[in-house]
Amino acid sequence: MALDDNLLRSALYDKHVALEARLGEEAGWLMPLSYHGALEEARTARSRAVVCDFSHAGRLRIRGAGALDLLCRAAVGDVVHQADDTAALTLLCNDGGGIIDCCHLVRLEDAWLVLTSPINRLKVLAHLQGLAEALDVRIDDQTEKTSQICVAGPAAPAILDAVLPEKVSTLADGGVRVGSMLVAKYVAMRISQTGLWSINVILPNMVAAMAWRFITEKAGDNRVAPAGLAAADVLRVEAGLPRYGHEINETIDPVTAGLGSIVRSGDDFLGAAAIGRIAAAGAARRRAGLVLSGPAADQAPAIPRLGAAVWRADGSEAGTVTSGTYSPTLDRPIALAYLPSDDAEIGTQLTVETSAGPAPAKVTALPFVQQGLGTRD
């Protein structure tokens, strides 16, 4: 039996095969990594718009009288004051303040949705079930029953307004709209995994292929080209956004990860005491951005990879790379890394291990690339 036989497939799998996508394993799913090359797809996303299949991300529905109590205990954000029909970025932490997952918490009129990192779906499900044992709560894993499609890019608002029955261009960041497609209920959310203006839509598997075909083939001048997960990750790194298993894990706390701003005050959530102590003392390391020197005209880009060493001028090791890629927008390699506070100052000159050997790098402000095409020097 081939390895692929053990992997989950989204409801859009046949569409990806028909488009001759390069498929690969992502968090236990066989997903499209690219169609025409990650860099080309990332450029299209920044210049116009792309559509991505994010169905491998976790989608957990929580209902019951105890749902609010559960999420107040589990999540670091201000769950009590989150309004209906909104989505908020939040963290689930352990007792030591380590991050179990970075996810979106969606509050609907009759339920909550926890949108998890792809790799953490089952871990988060078990964690929430453990916290909910004494509560009136029903947790339903919707991941394999539904699909998640994202349209992202600067032209996405106008394109979607032209093809949808309701305008979405006016939807505020974090806004959520619930509607119906034929007889199928969908949830549309303005959240982003790439730093670009984005709408993510959760819909039943039975209508997912129809929606994908419409936006990629049948929308006339408003057709949107598909992009794979490799392009989405390039855009994520350009936006300086953390990814679970790279910038965040259960040994990294919100303060160190640069996510302290989404942690509410108080001591009534899991990990609060530990996070408070770290915030008071100050984190020993900081998440920083590194821009590497561009390659010579006759050389391939020197790409830094996960775990690559970062050295100071005296040859001592300062930290390690957590994400690295070639930025098509900046036309040079970039990386994210954890560095001691002194080394993380903007302008610090360092050296990074790459696929082509050591390369000079400079600490720069995050995000590397602002939404749209604005860049930082």
The whole-number mean pLDDT for each consecutive block of 10 residues of the chain, a chain of 377 residues, reads 78 97 98 97 98 98 98 98 98 98 97 98 98 96 98 97 89 94 88 96 96 94 97 98 98 96 95 96 95 71 93 96 96 96 96 93 94 49
Q: Note the pLDDT of residue 165.
A: 81
- Looking at residue 114, its pLDDT comes to 98
Q: Is residue 144 packed enough to be buried (19+ CB in 10 Å), middle (13-18) or exposed (0-12)?
A: middle
- How does strand 50-53 pair with strand 225-226? parallel
Tokens read off for 360: 């000079």
User: Which pTM was predicted?
Assistant: 0.94
Write out the two tokens for 279. 């915030």
Q: 212-223 burial, b if ≥16 CB within 10 A, otherwise e?
A: beebbeeeeebe
3-state SS string for 308-329: CEEECCCCCEEEEEEEEEEECC
Tokens encoding 8: 């989950």
How many helices (H) and strands (E) the chain has is answered by 8, 20
Q: What is the pLDDT of residue 375?
A: 46
With the C-alpha atoms ordered 115, 121, 127, 133, is the resulting torsion angle positive or negative?
positive
